[in-house]
Amino acid sequence: MLETVHHDVTLADGSLLRVDVRSPHLFRVRLDAAGAVHEGALERYGILRRDWPPVEVSVRRRRGEVEFRTMAAVLRVRCDDGRLRLSTAAGRELVSTAEPPRSRWQEGFRVALALRPGERLYGGGDADRERIQRRGSAGRMAVRNVASYAPIPFFMSTGGWAAFVNTTWFHRFDAGAADPERLVFSAERGGLDLFLIAGESLPELLNHYTALTGRPRLLPLAGYGLTFVCDERGVRARDVLYEAYEFRRHGIPCDTIGLEPGWMEHRYDYSVDKDWSQERFHIPTWLAQSKHSTFCAGLANMGFRLSLWLCCNYDLSEYEERLLGHEWKPLDAADLRAAPGDLVQDPHLQPTYSDRITRTGVPWFEHLKRFVDDGASAFKLDGANQVLFHPDRLWRNGMTDAEMHNLYPLLLGKQMALGFEAHTGRRAMISSAGGYAGIQQYAATWAGDTGGNAGPLVSMLNHGLSGHSNTSCDMEVFSPAGIHFGFLQPWSQVLSWHMYNQPWFQGRDLLAMFTFYARLRYRLLPYLYSAAHVAYRTGLPILRAMPLAAPDDPACADCTRQYLLGDALLTGAFTESLYLPAGRWIDFWTGAVHEGPATIPLQHPPDRGGMLLVRSGAIIPMGPAVDYTGDRPAEEITLDVYPDGDSRTTLYEDDGVSLDYQAGRVAETAIACRATARSVRLAVSPRRGEYDGMPSRRCYRIELHLESAPRAVKVNGQAVAIAFDAARRVCVVRAAEDPARQTPLEVVIRR
């Protein structure tokens, strides 16, 4: 039957256990000893998906159990004590509880999942920056400044299952630290709300998890370029304009210029009364919203977008309650004490309505519209108060900090993104230091005030293993390794703040290196943006930890100094060696060929900052050299092809600005390559779909990496002259699609 409602099981002790089957792979289990399960803040405020289609599920009781069977998995619940067992549809057990779960809203919950020998665990978000293989670790799920900006209570196993704890209350996880055979979640407040997920691979588990908590947001195309955040010490509008001009003068591609707190009249202004600094960024009223003669217009005329730094201590919960139709009425907090689970536990701090900033009935984003109208198109949300504890604060939705603290960064990202999009009709570029489960659907993140070294890399790997794709960190422009890593990640950002991190101040060699990597990144944007589309569709991140690339290779289990950027570029960062999974890998810098599995020592040209290898068989779409996204129409695409067996990729394109992609206004180009000992056959299918501003005709520069010059080259059956670069061992073919022809553009190379 098609089951769309929950199913209740009353346990022997009277506890209520409720099961919802959300999809063939996704089971929700809630438990409460008092017999009344709760909704949960993530569901209440629309973070979790609600519009699930009906799923075919059979429910039956037998041998003291209730069985929930779908086409993909089976969940069994013991009627006496609520123990759970998740299996495949064929009967292979995936995971079970190691003890009866317990849950009472006022006393908290505990659930323990049994772990098998050799089983590896991944996820947890930014819970720590020591490792990516979580088995053997333990910690708190609490947003904390520097230590844990964005913890995510999601863990997936190489055994084919995943668990997501649907709570914003402070809680703990123990992934086999105390008992190597148990993954335990526990809290002092809140009820057990557990999602169990079945899937055959880590990417499939991410797919199901992000179907629940939201797909990674597709940023505006410019968001995947370079952001430069200015020094704030007395910087004036004119200084910002000349900073931007220097990027253009040096030929360094860049899209976004960011301002730190000094852009405001009152530095670190948390209020809704903030204004431009009248001394440094004054915009006369008669020029406001003008397309000329303001510093915002000057930036736009050079192809730059403006990003503004923000801090927020607004009570965002009031607006969320208003969306639900609830008016705020102060509660009687006289009998409240420091709530169990509060991490500060100071008896002198009693939760009260201490807020003096929030204006009843006024959404937080309302006062930001004027700055958007003036020319701001991106916002950077500092950690500031969103990562600090507020044990003495009672929020307008009635929550104390122990429940609201983890939720706050989500609500901030949500209201910023949706507010911007509703006001402009354009995609938002919101970047936040803080986050929690679901942040991927609203904001990009950077690794906070922790620099751009190996620690932030671990954070980004763990984010990708937890459903969040648009991650970054502050680039270390003063070292080759920092530049290499800083440009080879989902989005790139340089922070000056109180430093002189402009690339032209780093010396001739580093300036040349920075310029090279910036130009390379912008040429790679079609490849990176296609990977962003894949993340938006499936949850598979742009920056992929090695277990996603080679889950069955134990040597990849805890690699923290390398990753796949997209599906083809193996990137090493801050490492003296690189591990190659099975297969053939080609050095992107030199063309040298390596066979995996193997570990190779650090080797790269002196004017590069790290190792970059290409998976054999890769097809990498690249764009033209530009100063910024939108600098010129992408009429010609370069296909960088490394023929090996059968391989394929898809180039995704849209207008890069609007929300039309959500309605399917996307062009997809399927590209396939078949290589044998005698020939290489590349087929570029006609573009499928369309979007505003799509080039009417597409030209291709095809670069095929071959060991020697080919004997013959044909394009759509017609012989063409052979152009072979012997130094690079690359055969170059130029071809153009015929819009009237609905068959693939075909290039055949005879070896």
CATH 1.10.1060.10 fits 2-213, yes or no: no
Q: Say whether 473 sits in a helix, a strand or coil.
A: coil
**121 touches 133 (CB < 8 A):** yes
**45 touches 37 (CB < 8 A):** no
Q: Does position 339 have pLDDT exceeding 70, yes or no?
A: no
* Per-chain mean pLDDT for the chain: 94
Q: Does position 337 have pLDDT exceeding 60, yes or no?
A: no
pLDDT for 384: 85
Q: Say whether 524 sits in a helix, a strand or coil.
A: coil
pLDDT for 603: 93
Please write the tens of the pLDDT for every residue from 219-255. Answer: 999 999 999 999 989 899 999 999 999 999 999 999 9
**652 touches 673 (CB < 8 A):** no
**446 touches 493 (CB < 8 A):** yes
User: Which bin fits 270, alpha (ψ -120 to 50), beta or left (φ > 0)?
Assistant: alpha
Nearest CA-CA partner of 574 in 475, 648, 654: 475
Q: For the chain, what are the domain ranges?
A: 2-213, 633-750
Please write the tens of the pLDDT for every residue from 348-399. Answer: 777 888 888 999 999 999 999 999 999 999 999 998 888 999 988 999 999 9
Mean pLDDT of 264-288: 92
pLDDT for 622: 98
pLDDT for 605: 96
Share of the chain above pLDDT 90, in %: 89
- Pick the residue with more confidence: 496 or 737? 496
Residues 257, 242: Cα–Cα separation, whole Å: 11
Mean pLDDT of 389-410: 93
Q: Does position 671 have pLDDT exceeding 80, yes or no?
A: yes
pLDDT for 168: 98
Mean pLDDT of 543-551: 96
pTM: 0.96
Share of the chain above pLDDT 70, in %: 98
Kindly report the number of other CB atoms within 10 A of residue 608's CB atom.
18
Please write the tens of the pLDDT for every residue from 608-635. Answer: 999 999 999 999 999 999 999 999 888 9
Residue 279 amino acid letter: E
Residues 588, 33: Cα–Cα separation, whole Å: 59
The confidence band for 330, taking pLDDT boundaries of 50, 70 and 90, is: confident
DSSP letter at 685 equals P
The C-alpha angle with vertex 294 and arms to 293 and 300, in degrees rounded to 5, equals 95
pLDDT for 628: 98
**Residues in Cβ contact with 104 at an 8 Å cutoff, skipping those fewer than 6 apart:** 32, 33, 34, 191
Q: How far is CA 389 from the centre of its chain?
A: 25
Mean pLDDT of 592-613: 97
The confidence band for 290, taking pLDDT boundaries of 50, 70 and 90, is: confident
**294 touches 305 (CB < 8 A):** no
pLDDT for 313: 94
Mean pLDDT of 280-306: 90
Domains 2-213 and 633-750 share a fold: yes
Mean pLDDT of 55-67: 93
- CATH class, domain 633-750, is mainly beta
Least confident of 80-94, 340-354, 509-523: 340-354
The C-alpha angle with vertex 494 and arms to 419 and 387, in degrees rounded to 5, equals 55
Kindly report the number of other CB atoms within 10 A of residue 340's CB atom.
17
The confidence band for 334, taking pLDDT boundaries of 50, 70 and 90, is: low
**297 touches 382 (CB < 8 A):** no
Please write the tens of the pLDDT for every residue from 46-55. Answer: 999 999 999 9
- Three state DSSP letters for 625-639: CCCCCCCCCCCEEEE
pLDDT for 737: 86
pLDDT for 331: 67
Mean pLDDT of 122-134: 95
Specify the DSSP element, H or E, that contains 300: helix 295-301
Q: Does position 140 have pLDDT exceeding 50, yes or no?
A: yes
Residues 408, 168: Cα–Cα separation, whole Å: 9
What are the tokens at 730? 């690359």
Q: Does position 184 have pLDDT exceeding 80, yes or no?
A: yes
pLDDT for 328: 87
Dihedral, CA of residue 617, residue 619, residue 620 and residue 623, to nearest 10:
150
pLDDT for 1: 46
